[in-house]
């Protein structure tokens, strides 16, 4: 086959049906890791910018995430 088939590009409906990836804000997740203890905020070395949180420090982080989204 010397030509790439174009049948998947004929109409917007077919293009939407065969599209591989659609990224929306609802598809994203914010990773939160929980550890035992109090006052704990440990860096996750393999994931820069992410931390392991104890329950007492996790709640303010969740509230900040929720207010940042709206």
Six-digit token string for 31: 């990773």
| Tokens read off for 42 | 């440990």
Residue 46 tokens read as: 């393999």
- Its pTM stands at 0.58
pLDDT computed for residue 8 by the predictor: 62
Residue ranges of domains in the chain: 7-69
pLDDT at 1: 58
pLDDT for the residue numbered 28: 83
Between CA 7 and CA 11 the distance in angstroms is: 9
Q: What is the dihedral of CA 44, 46, 26, 20, to 10 degrees?
A: -170
Q: What is the largest CA-CA distance in the chain?
A: 65
pLDDT tens digits, one per residue of 1-58: 566 666 666 788 877 777 777 788 888 888 899 999 999 999 999 999 999 999 999 9
pLDDT of residue 30: 86
């Amino acid at each position: 086959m010397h030509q790439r088939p174009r049948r998947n590009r004929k109409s917007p409906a077919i293009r939407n049906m065969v599209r591989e990836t659609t990224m929306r804000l609802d598809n994203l997740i914010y990773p939160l890791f929980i550890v035992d203890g109090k006052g704990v905020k440990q860096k996750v070395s393999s994931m820069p910018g992410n931390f392991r949180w104890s329950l007492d420090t996790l709640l303010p982080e969740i509230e900040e995430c929720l207010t940042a989204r709206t």
